[in-house]
Amino acid sequence: MSFSPIKAALCSFGMSGKVFHGPFLSVNDQFILHGSWERSTKTIKQYYPDAISYDSYEALLADDDVELVIVNTPNITHYDFAKRALLAGKHVIIEKPFTVTEQEGKELIVIAQQEGRRLSGFQNRRYDSDFLTVKDIITKKLLGNVVEAELHFDRYAETLSYKVHKETPVKGTGILYDLGSHLIDQALQLFGKPTSLFADIRIMREISKVDDYFEVLLYYRNLRVRIVATTLAREARGYVIHGTKGSFIKPKSNIQEEALAAGKLPVGEDWGREDESFWGLLHTEKEGKIIREKIPTIQGNYMTYFNGIYKAIREGADVPVLPESSVDVVRVIEAAFESSNTGKVIQL
């Protein structure tokens, strides 16, 4: 079988395209960054001279060379753009959140199945080094049975984002849809689906028109999981996991995002490797002895996701992030808003 790279096109070339997609597609010989839809500012050729700048989405979809479309536009557009791409015969990756409603996500799954196309959510934070380390600690039962977990995604921003669409109060905006999509996905990957939840979603900054803080409690039979994100935390927290045998505390780090934003390419043996200062603290009982020590962080790499997409399209493997799991995230988000609005625990 001859090698055939996948030609991919982006729905926009803003921060997401420049930081989270372009660098990985450009250095991976399994892909060709074929082009991007650019509505006004034409910049993709400054980064990738051979790429096409499409003037319209119709032109992108009409290009028979494009096999894979990455929907990385404002959340409210995800359903429409993904549906149109699938019906045009393209495989599709959708940025988080997958859609703004559970029903929209379910409809896209049906359309993808009917069209024989591959559909996946872009949950890149599954490949963060801190999350991979927490997952490894839990999988190895180093804490015994987990009874309590906290997952934080903290940022500090006194001013609003320059991305106007993120600060406009329409369906799908706000910190729960944004950072919450990551934390909920990680919680579901670690612990499965909760039985119920309670949420407190707020606007903390007077200048903000969309939610910029949330706390969601996910209830399981013998476990409580708390996920929190805020825009007013100068000192970011990370992961706190308690079990019947011990605890693991891991600072939050964004080494891949920071490196990508600085213009570094995702190559080399040290890509995604954390500095020792970010190592987590394990305090537990092991082989009859109490230990308290720093644990080296597992190396992360978002490229794992793209390699999985290639195998799914070319070799028939499952996509690295199943669309059903992304729909589960949206379901939790909708339930969290219902809980916050009513002040009630919502059964799932």
pLDDT digits 0-9 by tens, 22-67: 999 999 999 999 999 999 899 999 999 999 999 999 999 999 999 9
Q: Are 340 and 201 in contact (CB under 8 A)?
A: yes
Residues 91 and 238 in one domain: no
CA atoms within 13 A of residue 222's CA, in its CB half-sphere: 7
Give me the CATH number covering residue 30.
3.40.50.720
Domain count along the chain: 2
Concatenating the DSSP letter of every residue in 220-265 gives ETTEEEEEEEESB-SS---EEEEESS-EEEE----HHHHHHHTT--
Residues 85 and 219 in one domain: no
Model confidence pLDDT, tens digit, residues 284-331: 999 899 999 999 999 999 999 999 999 999 999 999 999 999 999 999
Residue stretches of the chain with pLDDT short of 50: none
How confident is the model at residue 2, as a pLDDT?
64
Domain limits at 58? Answer: 6-124+304-318
Residues 149 and 207 in one domain: yes
Q: What is the pTM of this model?
A: 0.95
Tell me the Cα Rg of the chain.
Answer: 20
User: To 5 degrees, how large is the angle CA 149–CA 183–CA 222?
Assistant: 30
How far, in whole angstroms, is CA 184 from its chain's centroid?
10
Scan for tokens 């028939």, then name that residue: 316
Q: Which residues contact 331 (CB under 8 A, 6 or more apart)?
A: 102, 348
User: To 5 degrees, how large is the angle CA 169–CA 82–CA 154?
Assistant: 45
Element housing 130 (H / E):
helix 129-139
How confident is the model at residue 72, as a pLDDT?
98
How confident is the model at residue 245, as a pLDDT?
97
Taking the C-alpha atoms of residue 125 and residue 302, their distance in angstroms, rounded to an integer, is: 8
Token pair of 18, please?
């420049």
Taking the C-alpha atoms of residue 172 and residue 153, their distance in angstroms, rounded to an integer, is: 18
In a domain, 239, yes or no: yes
Residues 114 and 176 in one domain: no
- 96 C-beta neighbours (distance < 10 Å), count: 24
Residues 340 and 312 in one domain: no
In a domain, 326, yes or no: no
Residues 230 and 156 in one domain: yes
